[in-house]
Protein backbone atom coordinates (compact mmCIF):
# COMPACT_ATOMS: atom_id res chain seq x y z
CA UNK A 1 0.00 0.00 0.00
CA UNK A 2 1.28 3.51 -0.76
CA UNK A 3 2.33 5.67 2.19
CA UNK A 4 -0.53 7.96 3.08
CA UNK A 5 -0.24 11.73 3.66
CA UNK A 6 0.24 12.70 7.32
CA UNK A 7 -3.09 13.13 9.09
CA UNK A 8 -5.02 10.88 6.69
CA UNK A 9 -6.37 7.84 8.52
CA UNK A 10 -7.70 4.96 6.41
CA UNK A 11 -10.02 2.35 7.97
CA UNK A 12 -10.54 -0.39 5.34
CA UNK A 13 -13.71 -2.52 5.74
CA UNK A 14 -14.66 -0.52 8.84
CA UNK A 15 -18.40 -0.93 8.21
CA UNK A 16 -19.70 -4.51 7.93
CA UNK A 17 -22.11 -5.67 5.21
CA UNK A 18 -25.19 -5.47 7.45
CA UNK A 19 -24.39 -1.93 8.59
CA UNK A 20 -23.67 -0.92 4.97
CA UNK A 21 -27.11 -2.18 3.91
CA UNK A 22 -28.71 -0.27 6.80
CA UNK A 23 -26.87 2.90 5.75
CA UNK A 24 -28.10 2.51 2.17
CA UNK A 25 -31.69 2.31 3.45
CA UNK A 26 -31.14 5.45 5.53
CA UNK A 27 -29.75 7.24 2.48
CA UNK A 28 -32.77 6.13 0.40
CA UNK A 29 -34.92 7.81 3.04
CA UNK A 30 -32.79 10.98 2.90
CA UNK A 31 -33.14 11.01 -0.91
CA UNK A 32 -36.94 10.70 -0.67
CA UNK A 33 -37.00 13.83 1.51
CA UNK A 34 -34.24 15.68 -0.37
CA UNK A 35 -34.05 14.51 -4.02
CA UNK A 36 -30.69 14.07 -5.75
CA UNK A 37 -29.87 17.00 -8.00
CA UNK A 38 -27.12 17.78 -10.49
CA UNK A 39 -24.90 20.59 -9.15
CA UNK A 40 -23.32 23.14 -11.53
CA UNK A 41 -19.82 24.59 -11.55
CA UNK A 42 -19.56 28.27 -10.63
CA UNK A 43 -19.53 30.67 -13.64
CA UNK A 44 -19.43 28.03 -16.42
CA UNK A 45 -22.60 26.31 -15.25
CA UNK A 46 -21.08 23.00 -16.35
CA UNK A 47 -22.90 20.19 -14.53
CA UNK A 48 -20.88 17.92 -12.25
CA UNK A 49 -20.98 14.24 -13.21
CA UNK A 50 -21.85 13.39 -9.61
CA UNK A 51 -25.42 13.82 -8.34
CA UNK A 52 -25.78 15.15 -4.80
CA UNK A 53 -27.99 15.76 -1.83
CA UNK A 54 -27.32 16.42 1.86
CA UNK A 55 -28.55 15.77 5.35
CA UNK A 56 -27.87 17.76 8.51
CA UNK A 57 -28.42 21.41 9.47
CA UNK A 58 -26.25 22.57 6.54
CA UNK A 59 -25.67 21.19 3.07
CA UNK A 60 -22.96 21.82 0.48
CA UNK A 61 -24.35 23.10 -2.82
CA UNK A 62 -23.12 24.77 -5.98
CA UNK A 63 -24.73 26.47 -8.97
CA UNK A 64 -23.63 28.76 -11.77
CA UNK A 65 -24.78 32.00 -10.14
CA UNK A 66 -23.72 31.62 -6.52
CA UNK A 67 -20.92 29.02 -6.59
CA UNK A 68 -19.82 26.74 -3.79
CA UNK A 69 -21.46 27.28 -0.40
CA UNK A 70 -23.29 25.74 2.54
CA UNK A 71 -26.97 26.45 3.08
CA UNK A 72 -29.78 25.09 5.28
CA UNK A 73 -32.21 24.35 2.43
CA UNK A 74 -32.38 22.13 -0.65
CA UNK A 75 -31.73 24.31 -3.73
CA UNK A 76 -34.66 22.87 -5.71
CA UNK A 77 -37.36 22.09 -3.11
CA UNK A 78 -36.45 24.90 -0.69
CA UNK A 79 -37.02 22.50 2.23
CA UNK A 80 -34.61 22.07 5.14
CA UNK A 81 -32.24 19.10 4.73
CA UNK A 82 -33.35 15.96 6.63
CA UNK A 83 -31.39 15.01 9.76
CA UNK A 84 -28.12 13.08 9.70
CA UNK A 85 -28.92 9.38 10.41
CA UNK A 86 -27.95 8.35 13.98
CA UNK A 87 -25.55 5.61 12.72
CA UNK A 88 -23.44 8.29 11.04
CA UNK A 89 -23.42 10.50 14.14
CA UNK A 90 -22.23 7.46 16.15
CA UNK A 91 -19.49 6.76 13.60
CA UNK A 92 -18.29 10.39 13.91
CA UNK A 93 -18.28 10.12 17.72
CA UNK A 94 -16.26 6.90 17.54
CA UNK A 95 -13.59 8.16 15.15
CA UNK A 96 -13.46 11.87 16.06
CA UNK A 97 -14.31 11.87 19.78
CA UNK A 98 -12.74 15.29 20.43
CA UNK A 99 -14.58 17.06 17.60
CA UNK A 100 -17.92 18.85 17.94
CA UNK A 101 -20.87 17.30 16.08
CA UNK A 102 -20.90 17.37 12.28
CA UNK A 103 -23.23 19.91 10.67
CA UNK A 104 -23.23 18.66 7.09
CA UNK A 105 -23.39 15.25 5.48
CA UNK A 106 -22.90 15.48 1.72
CA UNK A 107 -24.27 12.51 -0.23
CA UNK A 108 -22.40 12.01 -3.54
CA UNK A 109 -23.90 9.53 -6.00
CA UNK A 110 -21.54 8.33 -8.75
CA UNK A 111 -22.71 6.46 -11.82
CA UNK A 112 -20.06 4.21 -13.44
CA UNK A 113 -18.92 7.13 -15.65
CA UNK A 114 -18.77 9.80 -12.93
CA UNK A 115 -15.60 11.25 -11.46
CA UNK A 116 -14.50 14.17 -9.31
CA UNK A 117 -11.49 16.31 -10.23
CA UNK A 118 -8.69 17.13 -7.80
CA UNK A 119 -9.82 19.80 -5.35
CA UNK A 120 -9.49 21.01 -1.77
CA UNK A 121 -12.40 21.11 0.68
CA UNK A 122 -12.18 24.74 1.76
CA UNK A 123 -15.72 26.07 1.76
CA UNK A 124 -16.07 25.50 5.50
CA UNK A 125 -15.70 28.42 7.95
CA UNK A 126 -13.43 26.23 10.12
CA UNK A 127 -10.79 23.64 9.23
CA UNK A 128 -10.24 22.63 12.86
CA UNK A 129 -12.48 19.55 12.75
CA UNK A 130 -11.69 16.46 10.68
CA UNK A 131 -13.65 15.34 7.62
CA UNK A 132 -15.05 11.80 7.68
CA UNK A 133 -15.89 9.91 4.50
CA UNK A 134 -17.74 6.61 3.99
CA UNK A 135 -17.67 4.64 0.72
CA UNK A 136 -20.60 2.42 -0.34
CA UNK A 137 -21.07 0.34 -3.48
CA UNK A 138 -18.67 0.03 -6.40
CA UNK A 139 -14.94 0.54 -5.95
CA UNK A 140 -13.38 3.91 -6.75
CA UNK A 141 -9.86 5.06 -7.56
CA UNK A 142 -9.08 7.79 -5.02
CA UNK A 143 -6.15 10.17 -5.46
CA UNK A 144 -4.67 12.43 -2.79
CA UNK A 145 -1.72 14.82 -2.75
CA UNK A 146 -0.53 17.62 -0.51
CA UNK A 147 -1.99 21.02 0.19
CA UNK A 148 -0.44 22.57 -2.94
CA UNK A 149 -1.75 21.91 -6.43
CA UNK A 150 0.71 20.20 -8.75
CA UNK A 151 2.60 18.23 -6.08
CA UNK A 152 3.00 14.45 -5.99
CA UNK A 153 -0.10 12.35 -5.41
CA UNK A 154 -0.81 8.77 -4.34
CA UNK A 155 -3.74 6.68 -5.55
CA UNK A 156 -5.57 3.79 -3.98
CA UNK A 157 -8.92 2.07 -4.24
CA UNK A 158 -11.79 2.84 -1.92
CA UNK A 159 -14.16 -0.08 -1.39
CA UNK A 160 -17.62 -0.44 0.09
CA UNK A 161 -17.44 -0.07 3.87
CA UNK A 162 -14.11 1.78 3.88
CA UNK A 163 -13.85 4.92 6.01
CA UNK A 164 -11.39 7.81 5.63
CA UNK A 165 -10.68 10.45 8.26
CA UNK A 166 -8.89 13.57 7.04
CA UNK A 167 -7.39 15.34 10.01
CA UNK A 168 -4.56 17.75 10.73
CA UNK A 169 -2.22 18.18 7.76
CA UNK A 170 -4.42 16.20 5.39
CA UNK A 171 -7.48 18.38 6.02
CA UNK A 172 -6.56 20.69 3.12
CA UNK A 173 -5.00 18.05 0.84
CA UNK A 174 -5.96 18.01 -2.84
CA UNK A 175 -8.00 14.90 -3.57
CA UNK A 176 -10.39 13.47 -6.13
CA UNK A 177 -12.00 10.38 -7.63
CA UNK A 178 -10.40 9.38 -10.96
CA UNK A 179 -12.76 6.54 -11.81
CA UNK A 180 -15.43 4.13 -10.65
CA UNK A 181 -15.06 0.40 -11.25
CA UNK A 182 -18.66 -0.35 -12.24
CA UNK A 183 -20.06 -3.70 -11.18
CA UNK A 184 -17.47 -4.45 -8.45
CA UNK A 185 -20.03 -4.50 -5.61
CA UNK A 186 -23.55 -5.87 -5.17
CA UNK A 187 -24.69 -3.47 -2.44
CA UNK A 188 -26.69 -1.09 -4.65
CA UNK A 189 -29.51 -1.83 -7.10
CA UNK A 190 -27.61 -0.23 -9.98
CA UNK A 191 -23.90 0.07 -10.79
CA UNK A 192 -22.34 3.01 -9.04
CA UNK A 193 -21.02 4.35 -5.78
CA UNK A 194 -22.27 6.45 -2.88
CA UNK A 195 -19.91 8.57 -0.81
CA UNK A 196 -21.02 10.16 2.45
CA UNK A 197 -18.88 13.02 3.73
CA UNK A 198 -19.45 14.42 7.22
CA UNK A 199 -18.14 17.88 8.04
CA UNK A 200 -18.12 20.55 10.70
CA UNK A 201 -18.80 23.81 8.89
CA UNK A 202 -18.91 26.56 11.55
CA UNK A 203 -16.34 27.32 14.30
CA UNK A 204 -16.74 25.96 17.81
Tell me: does residue 163 bind ligand MD5 (CB under 6 A).
no
Closest CB to ligand MD5 among residues 82, 134 = 134
Tell me: does residue 121 bind Fe ion (CB under 5 A).
yes
Q: Are 184 and 140 in contact (CB under 8 A)?
A: no
- Among 96, 99, 105, 131, which residue sits at the site for ligand MD5 (rule: CB under 6 A)? 131
Report the distance separating Cα 192 and Cα 41, nearest Å. Answer: 22
Closest CB to Fe ion among residues 121, 162 = 121
Shortest spacing between CB 116 and ligand MD5, in angstroms: 5
**Nearest residue by C-beta to ligand MD5?**
195
Q: How many CB atoms lie within 10 A of CB 89?
A: 16
Tell me: does residue 58 bind ligand MD5 (CB under 6 A).
no
Residue 116 binds which entry of ligand MD5, Fe ion, none, CB below 5-8 Å type-dependent = ligand MD5
Closest CB to ligand MD5 among residues 85, 130 = 130
Shortest spacing between CB 135 and ligand MD5, in angstroms: 7
Q: Among candidates 85, 110, 102, 86, which has minimal Cα distance to 34? A: 85
Sole window of 25-33, 146-154, 172-180, 182-190 interacting with ligand MD5 (rule: CB under 6 A): 172-180
Shortest spacing between CB 119 and ligand MD5, in angstroms: 7
Q: Is 161 exposed, middle or buried (0-12, 13-18, 19+ CB in 10 A)?
A: buried
- Among 84, 99, 105, 177, which residue sits at the site for ligand MD5 (rule: CB under 6 A)? 177
Chain residues binding ligand MD5 by CB under 6 A are 8, 106, 108, 116, 121, 131, 133, 144, 164, 166, 170, 173, 175, 177, 195, 197
Chain residues binding Fe ion by CB under 5 A are 121
Amino acid sequence: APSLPPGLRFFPCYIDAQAQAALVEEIRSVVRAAPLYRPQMPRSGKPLSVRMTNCGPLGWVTDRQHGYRYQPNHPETGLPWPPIPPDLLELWKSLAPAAPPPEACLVNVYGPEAKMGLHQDKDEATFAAPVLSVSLGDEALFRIGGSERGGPTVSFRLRSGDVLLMDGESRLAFHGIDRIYGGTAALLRQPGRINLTLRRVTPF
